[in-house]
Amino acid sequence: MSDKIKITPVNRGKRPAFFDDPAIDQLMAIVMSMSAEMSVLYDRVDTIERLLDNKGTLSRDDIEAFRPDQDTEDERNVRRNEYIARLFRIIHEERESLVSHDKMDEYNELMDELAKP
Amino acid sequence: MIPLLEHGMLAQRNHDEESRQSFVNDFRIHLASNVFPGNFPTYYNRVLPNFIKNKGREPETRHEVRKVMTHDPYYSFWSAMQRNSQEMIWDSVIDSVERQLPELIEKSRKTGDKGSLILDPDLEIPKYHVAADIHLQPGAYHSDQIENDVAAGAMYDWGTYIYSMGGLGTGNNALGQITNGFFKNEFPDKKPLRILDMGCTIGGSVTYWAQQHPDAECHAIDVGAPVLRYGHARAEALGAAVHFSQQNAEQTNFEDESFDVVMSHILLHETSRTAIQNVFNESYRLLKPGGIMMHLDLPQAHGQQPLEGFLFEWEIYNNNEHFFAQLRDMNMSELCQKAGFKNEDIHPKSAGSFWMDDKTPYADDGFEFPITIGIK
């Protein structure tokens, strides 16, 4: 019985629509999930490479038991961030095409102002 | 991501689950630091000039900004990604919790007995919890899917940590550190003997208080049974004595004038217009004369420019924090007065990570929470 517990991954509440065509919202969710899975796969390959570097051989259990130490996790973070940046190149292109401005500073100043007791 | 500090109840993640959570965490950091800021040039270079062209003036309120910004392609794309990242948080924590649930339930039933747990199966879950799953957590804080369920608590522990991108601290207790540090500074002479935390969920804050005030009797209430079961077991695993009970903060069964401190941590914005007044009334009733009420919550709209005000409200419309829309404009001092606090004893303050004793690497030093103080 215990192995049949399922937590339904659905949240209650009205789902907002971000695009005119709901299919685009759905496609976006699919692309995001694929991005996550590709990152997981990359980490798994990285684990395999590290195990092979160290031991020259490996088993599935070795892979499952592997946990990145802080140095490894730092390296993975750098790689993940580069990966995410490549993934969203088109978004950054749009952002860069708009003239920069000083309003972000104004926003930060406002936040600082609000933060005062 | 830096993992949460181990305690006996934490769901263990396998190789891929850990990697998936790290991705969601890094993705959210990327959105916050690289994509979100693009909303500013988008507004000032594209949306605002269009608005002025059509109306001959700038938008006067955040609501006017909302009407135009939500149609801008850059904003929409960021917004859609942000929403997805929120749902991906829960997706990334469900698997490990689901796999270990029988074991976690078993552990929660064999805890220490420093504190206690009293559940009330007849408690009516308030409408503001049932209407929509707050923060999109599937099943919210109150749904039992099996007997003695702790899944909501186990998901909440990892989920809120990833949500905050580590900002809640590796002990998931940053808000408790903030209120405690703030309290010690504001009221250095007070030695609270009886403390109540309202809407405690897994008790991250109150457990920290219990660790810092070992001589005090700490109580914590919430409407959600699974988060309380988990919170109780978590506190025991951390060696802290907290008395958890399933109660609605609007009306509790504690005696009049029985607490030195009554507090909450980001509870108010998850209630309702009627409930929030009830919570203040109840706080006043429960405090001993000279006792301190402290409700920490999210920033209000006063003093924010239309664009900033609009951007601040993303979670209202996209992350099921519906009551926050109303709370943004409410007068907290008025609520305190209606509850019985004298005007001179009401102090709207703010408190942030400055007051934390554990400076975790991801802690956001700039962010401060308003904190409503009432002295009875």
Does B24 contact A at CB distance below 8 Å?
Answer: yes
**What pLDDT is stored for residue B1 in this prediction?**
86
Which fold does the domain B1-376 belong to in CATH? Rossmann fold (3.40.50)
Segment among B83-92, B264-273, B358-367 with least mean pLDDT = B358-367
CA distance A61 to chain B (A): 10
Mean pLDDT estimate for chain B = 94
d(CA B14, CA A60): 12
**Contact flag A5-B90 (C-beta cutoff 8 Å):** no
The model's confidence at residue B153, banded by pLDDT at 50, 70 and 90, is: very high
Q: Is the pLDDT of residue B326 over 50?
A: yes
Mean pLDDT in residue range B140-168: 93
ipTM score: 0.87
Looking at chain A, the whole-number percentage of residues with pLDDT higher than 70 is: 80
Q: Where are the domains of chain B?
A: 1-376
Mean pLDDT in residue range B145-168: 94
Q: Is the pLDDT of residue B293 over 60?
A: yes
Looking at chain B, the whole-number percentage of residues with pLDDT higher than 70 is: 98
Best of A1, A6, A11, A47 to disrupt the B interface by mutation (most B CBs within 10 Å)?
A: A11
Contact A46, A67 (CB under 8 A): no
The model's confidence at residue A1, banded by pLDDT at 50, 70 and 90, is: very low
Q: Is the pLDDT of residue A2 over 50?
A: no
**What pLDDT is stored for residue B219 in this prediction?**
98
DSSP string, A61-92: HHHHH----HHHHHHHHHHHHHHHHHHTHHHH
Segment among B8-12, B272-276, B352-356 with least mean pLDDT = B352-356
Instruction: Encode pLDDT of A43-74 as tens digits.
Output: 999 999 999 999 999 999 999 999 999 999 99
Residue whose C-alpha is closest to residue B145's, from B131, B157, B155, B158: B155
DSSP state of A13: S
Instruction: Encode pLDDT of A83-99 as tens digits.
Output: 999 998 888 888 877 75
Contact B303, A110 (CB under 8 A): yes
**What pLDDT is stored for residue B163 in this prediction?**
93
Instruction: Encode pLDDT of B19-38 as tens digits.
Output: 999 999 999 999 998 999 99
Phi, psi of B261, deg, nearest 5: -135, 130
Instruction: Encode pLDDT of B195-254 as tens digits.
Output: 999 999 999 999 999 999 999 999 999 999 999 999 999 999 999 999 999 999 999 999
> Whole-prediction pTM value?
0.92
Q: Which residues in chain B (65-124) have CB-CB distances under 8 A to chain A? A: 73-74, 76-81, 83-85, 87-88, 90-92, 94, 97-98, 101-102
Does B132 contact A at CB distance below 8 Å?
Answer: yes
